[in-house]
Amino acid sequence: MKLDVIKLDGATAGEVELTDAIFDLEPRADILHRVVRWQRNKAQAGTHKVKTRSEVSYSTKKIYRQKGTGGARHGSRKAPIFRKGGIYKGPTPRSHAHDLPKKVRALGLKLALSAKAKTGSLVIIDTAETDGKTKTLAAQVKSLGWKRALVIDGASVNENFARAAANIEGLDVLPSMGANVYDILKRDTLVLTKAGVEALEARLK
């Protein structure tokens, strides 16, 4: 499939041929869901923790006599049955990450790129270069109508462009190796540079 290439000022810069095996696949929600879930679980800190009965701070003295009170028999104020007692089988620090085959991850990225292309949310620009001033880039982004956009460049991101984009709300920049399903789907517009297209096609071939 072919797409027009534009410059940041909106001028046309020719067209580019996109690989159908990467940018023209039928979207599959099940694969995208699996990859996004894998990403988010891997990113989860897993630092949740509660205190068990051996960790709460109370006296170990028997709280009242065994018989004659007319109530249930108890030996420790730390028991889970009491308010502020230890928690039984509560969360402990652990990793939430799970395995996902590399082929499924690669397919998920292809499907995410294809989904953007099919909905007309994929934009190809010549280069992501600017003078480093946020004001200039913000005006260009506004004229292009990008509200929530992700820009994916080649092997590295232009330093001036990254500096200018850092202060623009809704605009994020990644190198091609940082391209991932979650970030692509989260944004309304996916912007690829010509170098980014080449790098992604080389990565996913």
Local mean pLDDT, 10-residue blocks, the chain (205 residues)? 89 89 94 98 96 94 94 94 95 96 97 95 92 91 93 92 92 95 96 95 92
pLDDT reported for residue 109:
97
Region at 135 (left for phi over 0; alpha for psi -120 to 50; beta for the rest) = alpha
Quote the DSSP letter at residue 9.
T
Burial of 78 (0-12, 13-18, 19+ CB in 10 A): buried
pLDDT reported for residue 30:
97
Bridge partners of 189? 149
- How far CA 16 is from CA of 126, 174, 203, in Å, comes to 10, 21, 18
Q: What's the rounded Cα separation, in Å, for the pair 173 and 158?
A: 10
> Token pair of 87, please?
């928690």
| H or E element in which residue 173 lies | strand 171-174
How many CA atoms does the CB half-sphere of 56 hold within 13 Å?
19
How many CA atoms does the CB half-sphere of 66 hold within 13 Å?
0
pLDDT reported for residue 28:
94
pLDDT reported for residue 14:
87
Please choose, from the candidates 7, 17, 19, 16, the residue with its C-alpha nearest in 3D space to the C-alpha of residue 110: 19
pLDDT reported for residue 172:
94
Q: Are residues 190 and 123 in contact, defined by beta-carbon separation less than 8 angstroms? A: yes
Cβ density class 9-18: b for 16+ within 10 Å, e for less: eeeeeeebeb
Q: In degrees rounded to 5, what are phi and psi of residue 196?
A: -65, -40
pLDDT reported for residue 13:
83
